[in-house]
Copies of this chain bind each other. A is one copy, B any other.
């Protein structure tokens, strides 16, 4: 009998983060793990001894399949960055004491950059105190901004939802016989991967979005207005995709140009919400064109009814691969995806030293952004395989069914 396993989820939700949880749980059980615990609300909850025995929650094969279709973090999440070991050993002692109480041999953490930092610090501390607990990171983030990995689980499904929704917004936006401007704001504060995915809407049956603005490139409002004017002068309506994180030359976010008061959230992150609204108002007032601003908001990260089967499968596999690697003795690693072939698309998992991944942001290469405010075919070819195929929702009484999340 192997030792016990604990798994947690952290950071912003995705549509497929629970598929990774399913991958960890099922693979650990299949490979002979004793107990598989789930920490509630990540490492922060663990510090308060909040955890569940996952076997009491995931009892049947249909539960596994429902879990794969349940958006957001089944175990709850946190945004909590561990202190530096040198600054605060107490926290680490406390965590390792709890892990000892639970007889944990394997620790898995599913999350983005901050979560990989957690794995880095915990595995460093284990080394320091001679603990033989294995710590493995399981990547997820819709933002696709993790280093080393070809892409991140969660990105493909968000990209699919965005491209599909853009097709629908384009149909909706082009319905009248006079020029209108629809500006759609997409998540990704520093990396434009998701906004770029809007390019996939263009096809045999769809005009596609007209203009795409990513945060990797300085946003020039005058140039933007010129482009809108040019398209409108042909009598055409247009749909424009902008990242929430676009910034002007002096480094301010576009939404900061508005005199509208915004919040700073509890974690010090600025609430970015209205770059699209600001630009829509600008077009309306300066060019006199009818506009609409749409924020895809959290829908783009939790639309479990429209996931990519490729993404769901890869998310499951990175969870399973993390278990396999840990059980075989690896620690301080992150499971990454390696694309071994572009056409046909094939992707395998590898493990990689967490120190080379944590806290590094991967952005869209500038050469993939075109001069005419769009993205290159190379970028489209990079994303296209990641949105392929579907995992149909299990529909009950007209609605997608999820796994019951009641933790009481």
Contact = CB atoms under 8 A, between A and B. Distances in A.
Contacts of A41: 176-177
A116 to B, nearest CB: 19
A397 B401 contact: no
Interface string A75-95: 011110000000000000000
Interface in A173-201: 173-178, 182, 200-201
Interface in A47-105: 50, 66, 70-73, 76-79
Nearest to A271: B292
Contacts of A399: 160, 163-164, 167, 200-201, 203, 387
Interface in A143-180: 160, 163-165, 167-169, 171-178
Interface string A381-408: 0001001111010010111111111000
B297 A292 contact: yes
Given A172-B298, A294-B299, A205 B160 contact: no
A8 to B, nearest CB: 13
**Of listed A172, A176, A299, A301, residue having the most chain B CB within 10 A:** A172
B298 A284 contact: no
Contacts of A273: 277, 293
Interface string A361-398: 00000000000000000000000100111101001011
A2 to B, nearest CB: 30
Contacts of A296: 299
B260 A169 contact: no
Interface stretch (A21-29, A227-235, A303-311, A314-322): A303-311
Nearest to A388: B398
A402 B171 contact: yes
A265 interface: yes
Contacts of A163: 398-399
Contacts of A390: 395
B388 A397 contact: yes
Residue among A171, A400, A404 with max Cβ neighbours from chain B (10 Å): A171
B171 A70 contact: yes
Closest 8 CB pairs of A and B: A72-B171, A387-B398, A172-B302, A168-B302, A41-B177, A77-B175, A294-B297, A72-B172
Given A160-B398, A178-B266, A203-B397, 6 more contacts: A13-B172, A41-B176, A50-B177, A71-B172, A171-B304, A299-B299
9 contacts: A13-B171, A72-B168, A72-B172, A76-B175, A76-B176, A168-B299, A172-B298, A172-B302, A292-B297
